Structure 1
């Protein structure tokens, strides 16, 4: 299993500090850079990477260390990850020694507690003599013809820059990424987004033996170089008992807002406005930070967000935003250049404890603001069981149920206002925005009635049939 050790330091790890840290392997190990200089690796005698040291990240967003590692930390803080290969038994201890030296030199500390040792770790295993093949995946535990397997053991496994790189590499090869964790681990919502759907998979080690899918619960088996569902005589996948056991945090709920906006691609267009409006209306404050990977490291800035997306176009951009530590919230945003403008697809998740009120009464106000000033295309709000913190445990939590659906002005105009106002349902939509270009808000319930999905399905089918066919 790869061993992750993180140094949290108040000072930036400069060249001198890195040299002291890398000396933990003694004089017989070589060092090299990878990832266009973003990674420094300690190499065994034959060129096999033993430990990879990621480029330090200055985390300026309060609460990120506690969200991902379960340990409080002052901010700003420099976050430096070291990752050990499984090729050599001594590599895990060596990774801890590298991080421990960084923390000692820079006055910081190491996660997990006790992992950092200020010592020299000699490497004597002959396995290090096998050099890594050209183009090999960076510090991946198992690679087959179809699958790259990464083993992780952290409180919350995040979508780090390294893991994003592994995903891009496997996708380029037409391969799958399978993340394998113990059952006590959780994954972040951004990581869940990229692992959802074939061929990628979250594989959980069942405490009772074997493996299961952390998202679907299907029992898995290692077959032909990959993890696949173990099927019975009728060809059906079976759910793991560990997946359907009672929730860890009964009574906790999660409000999910899925919104799509489209704005003109003009020089003064700022992105993130719709997401920020949703955040402020539902929590009383805007996002605390944003970034392209986790930990989220930058204070919230629509201007910097816009500059990043503009610089990457025509390729899409995927970013993560987080809220304040006292008000758990997290969002993912995908920005895409379209033929008519710039589209933002955002999913905002907000967690609530058993005694906290969910602000359902604010949803209509949010719909009004988005229709009137942020180019809303559509918004679906749902409520269901889920941890208060923005992470996902490998167990069944029950489905979210619809609260409302809002159709923006473009959709209303396409379906015609007359048809859109008259769905075959026992509800009355609320007209929002300018009279000459309105949107419609459809209340569907309070998130407790499963019939809300039937109502939503009927509504969407009605709106689709109301759109005139293309000539």
Structure 2
């Protein structure tokens, strides 16, 4: 199957999007393709060569739509771009996921000397006329970069100047469904000044309020030291975050997903606010976290507004002493408190 630069083909019950772009993003053209697939009742399939990456924003949108990202190699075989599992693609668009990782996923020498941070955070607000969303996004962006976001939009690149009040007016009360927005943060001041925070802001409307859920990715020149996660956790706690989790990513630009193995993310910290901790024994939870493999814990605030921060080992030696894989420990603690795993 030869890939043109960018085109679409109906394959059975899926609309297949072929792209050779170095980074495939959720742009205007791709947004129209998604609407076309939804209108025609088709699933979505993105097929790229091994030289293409997907923006994390596009991959998150694709996940929400139940779509697949396949990588097509020179020999015509396929694998999942995110996990590397080999895939048999049928003529009807069906994708049989196999257990074995594809050799293209396991290629050596692809990692770059760069990396950064992935942070997820969530706040729950009361559903009142004056409730405003965007404050958590601002707090997280400021904690990671020192400034507020630059802009937002429904697609990439974003076109609207950042304005939390405008976002609130347009989406938080009148939209019946969850809303996904792209957010661009300020330049981080790294080499050349061209490394930017990227984020996805999700507005949800459960019965008990309005949820602001943020996923942010930012490149860093160096790995986090012990003080930085504590500082970020304190800033988010002051904002009233319900929960947040930070992970370090190495081997490439953290704002995109490459179609090859770069290693597992390394959990840096996890935190819970008073709303998530309601009815729980914080001291017992801190002990549980350390039993699961956390390196240390810290109380945030005091009294009814107390939160808990959990920090994980950042070295192989520390992880070995903890006796558990930090990623499994982080997910296990999240599941214990929230009752479900996060992606």
Task: Give the shorter-chain TM-score range.
Answer: 0.7 to 0.9
Question: What is the CA distance between 1:380 and its match in structure 2?
Answer: 0.9
Q: Is the 8 A contact 2:53 2:259 kept in 1?
A: yes
Cα 1:395–1:424 shift into 2, 3 Å: closer
Query: 2:281 aligned with 1:416, yes or no?
Result: yes
Query: 2:83 aligned with 1:216, yes or no?
Result: yes
Question: What is the CA distance between 1:390 and its match in structure 2?
Answer: 1.7
Cα 1:461–1:300 shift into 2, 3 Å: closer
Cα 1:318–1:263 shift into 2, 3 Å: same
Cα 1:186–1:462 shift into 2, 3 Å: closer
Question: What is the CA distance between 1:146 and its match in structure 2?
Answer: 1.3
Query: 2:200 aligned with 1:332, yes or no?
Result: yes
| Greater RCO, CA 8 A, separation 6+ | 2
Alpha-carbon separation, structure 1, partners of 2:99 and 2:53: 23
Q: Is the 8 A contact 2:200 2:215 kept in 1?
A: yes
Cα 1:305–1:434 shift into 2, 3 Å: farther
Query: 2:250 aligned with 1:385, yes or no?
Result: yes
Alpha-carbon separation, structure 2, partners of 1:213 and 1:407: 33
Unpaired runs of 5+ residues, structure 2, are 188-192
Q: Is the 8 A contact 1:382 1:447 kept in 2?
A: no
SS at 1:237 equivalent:
strand
Alpha-carbon separation, structure 1, partners of 2:254 and 2:234: 28
Q: Is the 8 A contact 2:21 2:52 kept in 1?
A: yes
Equivalent in 130, 137, 140 of residue 268 of structure 1:
130
Q: Is the 8 A contact 1:247 1:397 kept in 2?
A: no
Q: Is the 8 A contact 2:274 2:304 kept in 1?
A: no
Query: 2:168 aligned with 1:303, yes or no?
Result: no
Q: Name the residue aligned to 1:65.
A: none
Q: Name the residue aligned to 1:194.
A: 61
Q: Name the residue aligned to 1:345.
A: 213
Alpha-carbon separation, structure 1, partners of 2:238 and 2:64: 35
Alpha-carbon separation, structure 2, partners of 1:428 and 1:359: 14
Unpaired runs of 5+ residues, structure 1, are 5-139, 231-235, 466-471
Question: What is the CA distance between 1:370 and its match in structure 2?
Answer: 2.2
Q: Is the 8 A contact 1:279 1:285 kept in 2?
A: yes
Question: What is the CA distance between 1:447 and its match in structure 2?
Answer: 6.6
The one-character-per-residue Cα deviations of 1:267-319 (angstroms, maximum 9, x if unpaired) are 33322211221221222222222111112112222122222223642221100
Larger Rg over CA atoms: 1
Cα 1:370–1:352 shift into 2, 3 Å: closer
Q: Name the residue aligned to 1:161.
A: 28
Cα 1:463–1:264 shift into 2, 3 Å: closer
Alpha-carbon separation, structure 2, partners of 1:397 and 1:461: 26
Q: How does 1:141-156 map to 2 (within 5 A)?
A: 141-156=8-23
Alpha-carbon separation, structure 2, partners of 1:279 and 1:213: 31
Cα 1:181–1:456 shift into 2, 3 Å: closer
Q: Is the 8 A contact 1:384 1:447 kept in 2?
A: no
SS at 2:304 equivalent:
coil
Question: What is the CA distance between 1:372 and its match in structure 2?
Answer: 2.6
Cα 1:250–1:360 shift into 2, 3 Å: farther
Structure-1-length-normalised TM-score: 0.62
Alpha-carbon separation, structure 1, partners of 2:45 and 2:336: 40
Q: Name the residue aligned to 1:394.
A: 259
Alpha-carbon RMSD across the aligned residues, in angstroms, is 2.8
Q: Which moved more, 1:199-208 or 1:455-464?
A: 455-464
Question: What is the CA distance between 1:157 and its match in structure 2?
Answer: 1.0
Q: Name the residue aligned to 1:289.
A: 151
Q: Name the residue aligned to 2:314.
A: 446
Alpha-carbon separation, structure 1, partners of 2:96 and 2:32: 26
Alpha-carbon separation, structure 1, partners of 2:329 and 2:299: 19
Cα 1:3–1:267 shift into 2, 3 Å: same
Q: Name the residue aligned to 1:91.
A: none
Equivalent in 224, 231, 237 of residue 371 of structure 1:
237
Structure-2-length-normalised TM-score: 0.83
Q: How does 1:165-176 map to 2 (within 5 A)?
A: 165-171=32-38, 174-176=41-43
SS at 1:221 equivalent:
strand
